[in-house]
Structures are given as C-alpha cells and as structure tokens.
A and B are shown apart, each in its own frame.
Chain A
C-alpha cells in the first residue's frame, strides 16, 4: 500500500527561506537547499518550495534554488508560487523540479494543465487550489472567484492535473486543523491524490485529513519552529495506524 506523505513546505523569497504572518514581518530562516536537506534527513517524504515573491521579482533566484535542490536532494519536490503560465512551469520542471504547482494561472487558463500533462505527464502537474468556505479564492485569498473548489478540482483533473494541493485559507496558520469536510469532498470527487494544506497543528489533524481521503498532508509552521517535530509527528502517525515510509 502506498504510504501517506508528510510534506514540509518552504516559502522562498529572493532565494532565501522566510517565515512571516500573512506575508508580513518576513523573517529570514536560511538557505533553502540547506534547510531542505535537513528536513530530508529528518524523514520528510517530499518537499514543496513556494516562491512567494515570484510575481514581483522574476524567476532568477528560485530557478537557481531548484537546480541545486535537484542536484542535492534524494527525495522528490514540488516547485510553485506565482507561476503565470506554461513557460514558467516548464522552466521549473526543466530546472529539475519533480512537479510544478500552478494556482491562479491554471484557474484562469485551464488549458495550461493539459499542455503540461502532455509534455511532462500528469504526475508532474499539481493544481493548487486555495479555498475559503468551499469557494475558490486567488491572490493569497483576497479574490473570491464564485466557483466551488470541488467543481474546479474536478475540471482540473479532467484537464490533466495529477495531484490537487488543497489549501484552506481559513485554516492557514491557525494550527487548529485542516478543513476536513472540504478535503473529503474533493478527495471523493477526484481520482488523483489530494494533499491537504493549511491548519496543521498536531498529529491528530493529519490523521483527520488522511481519514477524509487525503494522500498527503502539508506542514509548515509546526516543523519550521522545531524541525525535530517532523520525526515525532511521523512516529505518532505510525502509532495511530497510518503506515509511514521507512
């Protein structure tokens, strides 16, 4: 049986990992590939690099991070954040990302998903969906799009997405748990893996997401604060009956 995955997410700004609250008070955490290697050694199943400044400053710094990550890491990783179209996504994949996450650009031009799946295979194409109260939102949650996240997830998969990264904007940063009902609704609707994101605070939250049908769970602030939390989390999940990779 395929193992459930625990995936630390690294926010990258201008080539450095940063941490902030609602994109403000950004504090520098360190060099992305060094931190990524640390998580890898602590048992991360996969990683996500999210370029939070991409749309403002261009792609140079993150492409360099991706190339070095591809050379040095021995676990898979997704690159995303501000991907504006096919060319952006292709650049990240050619730099060595195993998967690329596309959010708003795919919502506004869904054919992008098919174009990338044709060239790189569906397994390389992650459709990132941010939702609030079940509705798709874009622009870091500022713009509601009057479309149900479940409905958009179904279309995204039909068009070629091989994975859905589902973030609850309401839960993000709260550490009060993933949006389990939304995760369940999307996981029942699509046949591709669903990654739950936003709200992880303790192992019970990941358990709830897995029970709802998520194949993987994104973690951020809980492991950034104390990276040793990662192997503890995995041990707790194993104890709760979810087989983890060894």
Chain B
C-alpha cells in the first residue's frame, strides 16, 4: 500500500520511511501535492518547530492537498510534530493546519522535553492503538495537543499530568510518540495505522 509522507523540509524522514517498509507499506517521501492528494494514506511527520513545519507544507501546497483529502473523507495521519500540525494555535508560536479543533500547549512538568519511554493509557478503544494499552513507547517532545473534544483523544501518557498521546477522528489519526523508534510497540502502531487507513 502506497503511503505519501509529506516532506516539508525538516529532513529526517528516513527512519519512518524504513519502519513503514517493515510494516508492509510502500512509502514515498514527497513535496508533490498531487502525490499527497492521491495516495491511499498521507502522513505528516518529522521534527522541529510547528510554525516552520506549517510554512514548509504551505510552500508546496501540501496543506491544501491534506485539507482536500480530509474534506473527501480520505485518511491523513500525523506523527509527533505531524500530530500537532493537525490542530490550530500552538503555544510554540504559530499554528498548524487546523484539521481538528483544539490547540497545542507547552508541556508543564519538572523535566521538559518529555523524553524517553512512557506508558500508553487508552482512554477509549481505537484501531490505531489496538493491543497497545499499557505499552511503553518513545516520546521526545516539549508540546502536546489539546483537542477541543476530549473524545478525539484515544490515549494519554503521564508526564506532569496526563498528556494526549494519540487521537483518532474520522479520516484523521495521529500519535505524539515515535512509532519508528518504539521497537515492537512501534511496529504494531504502524501496522494498525495502515489497517485504520483502509477502513477510515
């Protein structure tokens, strides 16, 4: 199954691409809006500042391609900063593409960034996190999403209080952790994500 990874210029999409191959997908890292619009699944991933990521997407018209997909009910998944990009205003400065109502808040804890392995607590059943309630996965972030509708969240993680670790809503799904760096639980997440996208 072909997966278009939207390349907004923050580099390092190599690990995710390799992990998707292991999960049985055919990933293509691209700045081509048509490829992002047409692939069975589009993924926003990468690292860095949410404002520069959003600007990078807009530069190639990828934000419009993603919005068009969602309007047509076709699946879009966000990973790490990609999850934050699905939402609106961010305390990091700037805003995402606003495909889901809600914002992005700075993590308030004794240690920021929230870095390392931490346990997923499922808040409701979901396809993307099936079999992963209680699993340890790898986080590396200083900001976390806050959906306007709490039921968009499918799992939390405890770091100075609960943080949203994953969301699923219609054709949109996302995880704050790094599945490509989360060993077996990460592979399971990516396999789930591919399965979700076929039914979304």
- Closest beta carbon of chain B to A79's beta carbon, Å: 12
B127 cross-chain contacts in A, Cβ below 8 A? none
Residue of B nearest to A69 (CB): B15
**A122–B142 touching, CB < 8 Å:** yes
B67 cross-chain contacts in A, Cβ below 8 A? none
- Closest beta carbon of chain A to B5's beta carbon, Å: 14
Partner of A70, one of B14, B47, B112: B14
Produce 1/0 per residue, B173-189, CB < 8 A to A.
Answer: 00000101111101100
Residue of B nearest to A243 (CB): B119
CB of B196 within 8 A of chain A? no
A118 cross-chain contacts in B, Cβ below 8 A? 49, 52
CB of B113 within 8 A of chain A? yes
A1-B158, A70-B18, A123-B142 known; A94-B12 Cβ under 8 A: yes
A71 cross-chain contacts in B, Cβ below 8 A? 14-15, 18
- Closest beta carbon of chain A to B88's beta carbon, Å: 19
Interface centre among B111, B139, B184 (most CB of A within 10 A): B111
B139 cross-chain contacts in A, Cβ below 8 A? 2
CB of A119 within 8 A of chain B? yes
Counting chain B residues whose Cβ lies within 8 A of the other chain, the interface size class is 35 or more
**B47–A123 touching, CB < 8 Å:** yes
**A45–B140 touching, CB < 8 Å:** no
B73 cross-chain contacts in A, Cβ below 8 A? none
Partner of B10, one of A99, A119, A192, A193: A119
Query: Helix, strand, loop or mixed for chain B's interface?
Result: mixed
Q: With the chains together, A69 CA to B20 CA distance in Å?
A: 15
CB of A151 within 8 A of chain B? no
Q: With the chains together, A192 CA to B114 CA distance in Å?
A: 8
**B117–A2 touching, CB < 8 Å:** yes
Q: With the chains together, A205 CA to B15 CA distance in Å?
A: 33
**B10–A120 touching, CB < 8 Å:** yes
**B118–A2 touching, CB < 8 Å:** yes
Partner of B15, one of A45, A96, A121: A96
**A76–B111 touching, CB < 8 Å:** no
A119-B10, A193-B115 known; A74-B142 Cβ under 8 A: no
CB of B43 within 8 A of chain A? no
A71-B18, A124-B47 known; A76-B140 Cβ under 8 A: yes
**B48–A119 touching, CB < 8 Å:** yes
Produce 1/0 per residue, B140-159, CB < 8 A to A.
Answer: 11100000000000000011
16 A-B interface contacts by CB (under 8 A): A2-B117, A3-B116, A3-B136, A40-B183, A74-B180, A90-B11, A93-B12, A119-B49, A120-B11, A121-B141, A121-B142, A122-B142, A123-B140, A163-B113, A192-B113, A215-B115
13 extra A-B contacts, CB within 8 A, seeds A118-B49, A120-B12, A121-B49:
A2-B116, A2-B118, A71-B15, A93-B12, A98-B181, A99-B140, A119-B49, A119-B52, A120-B11, A120-B48, A123-B141, A124-B47, A162-B113
